[in-house]
Amino acid sequence: MSHDKTYAKVPRHVAIIMDGNNRWAKERRLPSLAGHKAGVDAVRAVVDGCARHGVESLTLFAFSSENWLRPEREVRGLMELFMLALKREVKKLHQHNIRLKVIGDRGRFSESLQAKIADAEALTAGNSGMTLNIAANYGGQWDLAQAAQKLALQVAAGELDPARIDSDQLASQLELAGQPAVDLCIRTGGDRRISNFLLWQLAYAELYFTPLFWPDFDRAALEAAFDDFCCRQRRFGKTSEQVEAEESDA
């Protein structure tokens, strides 16, 4: 078994925009679904790598609320692949003490897929290792809107004073409530934008962009991202001098 690198600081929460499956397939003159299938192998490698390094939460952007606009055949294939991956992978996740959580609006999924998601979450709910969040039919704007709606209902019911609504109250109603803020956000495929992903949770995340298509993103690529993260000074609004003084006192 290979020895894992050790890092002075490991991101508690890693979020990944898995981009480039279609272009990977196109370069090989394969159908788009072949790229998505190859992407599942990359997911396995990254889940394993993050768990080994002690990452607490890993959030993968699998299917955005805008992806319904893609060709119907591709969307149908993606849904079938999602169902198949749940069937195949959940037992392995459970064996490795990983908790699975699916975030997003499940209302557009078939009843059978919704049931499969619920079963997978229930099976792994008691696990104490890394939490794997799969963002499916997810959008950051939707997440903020549904959180605001929950707070509005509490106000309307007389359960919450509007004056008490602050950032903590809003965060408590988001899909990733109770999990650490994102420390490192990786986007594969060469584009440099966050595409409506975790708008709130990425507030102070370090952004890492790589030209690699997602199916080519392996353990070595993950470790390159971690190497880059370790070289960054995270100031959270403070000066470099303040941060360095705090680190020397620690």
pLDDT digits (tens, 9 = 90+) for 141-157: 999 999 999 999 999 99
| Amino acid 247: pLDDT | 73
Tokens found for residue 175:
């899909």
Domains within the chain, CATH numbers bracketed: 13-139+180-249 (3.40.1180.10)
Average pLDDT for 104-126: 94
Q: Which positions are annotated as active-site residues? A: 19, 67
Q: What percent of the chain has pLDDT over 90?
A: 76
Q: Are 222 and 50 in contact (CB under 8 A)?
A: yes
Cα separation, 155 vs 102, whole angstroms: 27
Coarse DSSP helix, strand, coil percentages of the chain, rounded to the nearest 5 percent: 50, 15, 40
In degrees, rounded to 5, the angle at the alpha carbon of residue 237 between the alpha carbons of residues 232 and 239 is 70
Q: What is the structure's pLDDT at 66?
A: 84
pLDDT-based confidence at 2, cuts 50/70/90? very low
What average pLDDT does the chain have? 92
Q: What predicted TM-score, i.e. pTM, was given to this entire model? A: 0.92
The counts of H helices and E strands in the chain are 8, 6
pLDDT at 250: 65
Confidence check: pLDDT of 191 > 60: yes
What pLDDT, on the 0 to 100 scale, is given for residue 245?
Answer: 74
